[in-house]
Amino acid sequence: MELRQLRYFVAVCEELSFSRAASRNYLSQSAISHQIARLEAELSVTLFDRSTRRVVPTDAADRLAPIARQMLALEELAFAAVQPDGHRIRLAANMSFANRAMAAIAVMRDAHPDAEVDFIIRDFAARVASVRSGDVDIALIRGSLPDSEAGGRTRLAVRRLWSEDLVVVVSEKHPLADGNSVDLQQLSRYPLLLPSLAQQRLLRSVIDDAFVAAGLQVRWGAPIAPDRTAVAELVNHPDAWTVLYAGETTPGVRALPMSPGMLQVEVNGVERADEPTSPLLTELVEVLVRGPDS
Q: What is the pLDDT of residue 171?
A: 93
36 within 8 A of 47, measured Cβ to Cβ: yes
- What whole-number percentage of the chain has pLDDT above 90? 48
pLDDT digits (tens, 9 = 90+) for 276-288: 888 899 999 999 9
Phi, psi at residue 291, to the nearest 5°? 90, 165
Model confidence at 153: pLDDT above 60: no
pLDDT digits (tens, 9 = 90+) for 64-117: 999 998 888 888 777 666 655 557 899 999 888 988 999 999 999 899 988 889
Pairwise CA distance, residues 34 & 40, whole Å:
10
Residue whose C-alpha is closest to residue 228's, from 207, 208, 242, 246: 242
Pairwise CA distance, residues 20 & 38, whole Å:
19
Q: How far apart, in Å, are the Cα atoms of 190 and each of 176, 211, 220, 238, 240?
A: 10, 13, 8, 10, 6
Model confidence at 60: pLDDT above 80: yes
Band of pLDDT at residue 147, cut at 50, 70 and 90: low
Query: Residue 208 contacts by C-beta under 8 Å, 6 or more apart in sequence?
Result: 218
Model confidence at 248: pLDDT above 60: yes
Q: Is 152 helix (H, G, I), strand (E, B) or coil?
A: coil
269 within 8 A of 139, measured Cβ to Cβ: yes
pTM to 2 decimals? 0.66
Model confidence at 151: pLDDT above 70: no
Q: What is the pLDDT of residue 275?
A: 79
282 within 8 A of 204, measured Cβ to Cβ: no
Classify each residue of 218-240 as buried b or exposed e, where b means 16 or more C-beta atoms within 10 Å of its C-beta.
beebebbeeebebbebbeebeeb
